Amino acid sequence: MNKIGLFYAPAKGSTEKIAKIIAEKIGKDKVDLILVDENTDIDTFKPYDKLILGISTVGRENWDTQYKKVGWDFFLPKLDNANFTNKTVALFGLGNHILYADYFVDAMGELGQKIIEKGGKLVGTVDKSNYEFNHSKAIINNNFMGLPLDEDTQEELTEERINNWLENIKKELDF
C-alpha cells in the first residue's frame, strides 16, 4: 500500500487537532487517518510501509489508579511483538515545555524507542535548539526523534513547525 498511515491518540484534544491538520496539509487522498484505540493491533499497521504516529504526553497511568487506559496505552505493550523492519516512521508529540520541562514530550520518546527496537526507520528528527526544556526521553543523537508541538503555550509556532517538518519528511515518505 502506498498511502501513509497516520495513527494518533488520544481523541478530542490537541493531538487529534494536529493529526487532522497534518493529514489536510499532506492531502487527504494520500493519508489514512486512524485513531488508536483498544481495537488497534499490529495487523492494523501491517499494510502501511509509511507511517506518521502522533502521541501526547500525559502519563496519568503512572500515578492515577482510577485511570482508564486510552489510545496508545493499549497499543504500546503490543509493540513488543511487532516488526517495523522496512517501515519508515515519522513521529509528532504534543507536550507542554513550561509545566513539564523535565519530561517534555516523553511519550514520543517512549514510542520512538520501541519503533527503533523493532527495526523501524525514523525520519523527521528535529533540532532541539529550537526548544527550551530541561529533559526529554525523546532526544536521540542530540535531536528530537520527531516533531514536538506545544499547543498549550506556543500555539503560534505550530503552523511553521509543521510546515518545516513536512518539508523535511516529504521525500522519505514520498508525498
Ligand X SMILES: Cc1cc2nc3c(=O)[nH]c(=O)nc-3n(C[C@H](O)[C@H](O)[C@H](O)COP(=O)(O)O)c2cc1C
What residue ranges bind ligand X (CB under 6 A)? 10, 13-15, 56-60, 94-96, 100, 103-106, 151-152
Q: Which three cell numbers stand for residue 152?
A: 498549550
Minimum CB distance to ligand X, residue 134 (Å): 11
Measured at CB, which residue is nearest to ligand X? 13
Residue number, 7 or 103, with CB nearest to ligand X: 103
CA dist., res. 90 & res. 57, Å (int): 17
Minimum CB distance to ligand X, residue 105 (Å): 5
Minimum CB distance to ligand X, residue 65 (Å): 14
Minimum CB distance to ligand X, residue 85 (Å): 29
Residue number, 56 or 88, with CB nearest to ligand X: 56
Residue number, 34 or 59, with CB nearest to ligand X: 59
Minimum CB distance to ligand X, residue 23 (Å): 15
Q: Do 87 and 47 contact (CB within 8 A), yes or no?
A: no
Residue number, 159 or 174, with CB nearest to ligand X: 159
Residue number, 89 or 149, with CB nearest to ligand X: 149
Neighbours of 96 (CB within 10 A): 20
